Amino acid sequence: MTPLNIVVLGGTGFVGRHLLARLAAEGHRITLLSRNIGPHPDRLLPPGVALREVDVYDPGVLREAFTGADAVVNLVGILNEKGDNGRGFRRAHVELTKLVVAAMQLAGVRRLLQMSSLNAGRGHSHYLKSRGEAEAAVKSSGLDWTIFEPSVIFGPGDGLFCRFAALLKLAPVLPLARARSRFAPVFVGDVVEAMVRTLKDRRSFGEVYELYGPDVFTLGQVVRMTARQLGMRRLVLPLPDALGRLQAFVFDFVPGKPFSSDNFRSLKTDSVGGIDGLHRLGITPTRVATQLPAILGHVADRQARYARYRAAR
């Protein structure tokens, strides 16, 4: 494959780290744009990735960064916002996407890979509504775009099994809102493979790919699977919606927002697909059972090392 000049936004997140590693391994020249670069970020990036700390909401900066690029990948996304009025979601998903589109048009760059979400534009959550608005902006752009709509993504360091592993450590009982909400988790490696395969494939221009796995689980089943894999005996207590809304409202004010009112609204729409994008791309989906021991084994090892460290102090 001929190396491309690729500009990536949102590349410091979960999917971004895996995608950058794959693109760098294939020899592409990558520029990563980020607003919030932590200490010693170069140590976390694959060789060959140029890191630029910029204001991605500055149209001039974006146009300059895109000039000479072959493709732009927009992975920017948030799961929660400050408050609960939708402004944070609109800024991260809609306003930034419109800025990216405008800057690409001015810079003469046509190829755009846009990360979205399964059920974008459906339901009542600010998250899903803003994802749908961002998709509409991309579809009307006139660019050579491809949109990816994954269900919840799993893999090492994910926000699904690894997040619940941390919560399960805290108490023997876990009250759980929307425990019957359904997901078809998709492996991060399969999401990356889908993006790499479509990067230069003209047949994917103007296409939307739903990305989901072969297994459907309820949220309660996800939590119980996590506990069993970690060897923990925990009681998962499904909450009626009235209490689930109250739990979400309380967590709106907890630092870090492990759960929120908008998360609750999102969970009212099952994250299961209809048209299998992985199959369309010739990708065999990865089953959760084949990866879960490695995902949570890493978490358990890290916890064991921390416990030994504390005991030695």
Would the pLDDT of 67 be above 80?
A: yes
Predicted confidence band of residue 2 (pLDDT cuts 50, 70, 90): confident
- Convert the pLDDT of each residue in 7-24 to its tens digit: 999 999 999 999 999 999
Cα dihedral 13, 212, 71, 80 in deg (nearest 10): -40
Mean predicted confidence (pLDDT) in 272-282 = 96
Considering the domain boundaries, does residue 118 fall inside one?
A: yes
Q: Is residue 260 part of a domain?
A: no
In a domain, 13, yes or no: yes
In the chain, % of residues over pLDDT 70: 92
Q: Is the pLDDT of residue 6 over 50?
A: yes
Q: Residue range 181-196: average pLDDT?
A: 98
More confident residue, 105 or 36: 105
Backbone phi and psi for residue 298, each to the nearest 5 degrees, phi listed first: -65, -40
Query: How far is Cα 54 from Cα 69, in angstroms, rounded to an integer?
Result: 17
Q: Mean per-residue pLDDT for 262-271?
A: 97
- Please count the structural domains in the chain: 1
- With beta carbons less than 8 A apart as the criterion, state whether 195 and 21 touch: no
Mean pLDDT of 196-205: 97
The reply to whether 209 falls in a domain is yes
Domain holding 29, by residue range, is: 5-158+185-216+272-286
Looking at residue 253, its pLDDT comes to 93
Does a structural domain hold residue 232? no
For 24-65, what is each residue's pLDDT tens digit? 999 999 999 988 666 545 556 888 899 999 999 999 999 999
User: H-type helices in 150-282, by residue range?
Assistant: 161-168, 188-198, 219-229, 241-251, 261-267, 277-280
Kindly tell me if the per-residue pLDDT of 144 is higher than 70.
yes
Instruction: Tell me if 305 is assigned to some domain.
Output: no
Nearest-angstrom CA–CA distance, 10 and 12: 6
The whole-angstrom separation of Cα 208 and Cα 104 is 20
248 lies in a domain? no
The average pLDDT across 52-80 equals 97
Q: Which residues of 276-294 are buried (b: 16+ CB within 10 A; e: fewer)?
A: bbbeebebebbebeebbee
Q: Reply yes or no on whether the pLDDT at 201 is more than 60.
A: yes
pLDDT for 278 equals 98
Above 50 in pLDDT, residue 81? yes
Statement: residue 305 has pLDDT above 80: no
Q: Are 154 and 225 in contact (CB under 8 A)?
A: no
Residue 173, pLDDT above cutoff 80: yes
Mean pLDDT across the chain, nearest whole number?
93
Given this model, what pLDDT does residue 171 score?
86
pLDDT attached to residue 40: 45
User: Among 45-54, 207-216, 273-282, which stretch is predicted with the lowest mean pLDDT?
Assistant: 45-54
Torsion angles phi and psi, residue 245, rounded to 5: -65, -40
| Mean pLDDT confidence for 206-214 | 98
Mean predicted confidence (pLDDT) in 78-105: 97
Cα distances (angstroms) measured from residue 28 to each of 8, 49, 101, 204, 271: 12, 9, 22, 20, 33
CB 103 within 8 Å of CB 66? yes
In this prediction, residue 16 carries a pLDDT of 95
- Is 120 among the domain residues? yes
Q: Residue 15 and residue 141: Cα distance in Å, rounded?
A: 24
Closest CA to 173 of 230, 219, 239, 266: 239
Q: What is the mean pLDDT of residues 235-241?
A: 97
Q: What is the CATH number of the domain that holds 123?
A: 3.40.50.720
Asked if the model's pLDDT at residue 223 lies above 50, the reply is yes
**Residue 128 three-state SS:** helix
Query: Can you give the pLDDT at residue 228?
Result: 96
Q: Find out whether 178 and 219 touch, Cβ atoms under 8 Å.
A: yes
**Alpha-carbon Rg of the chain, whole angstroms?**
20
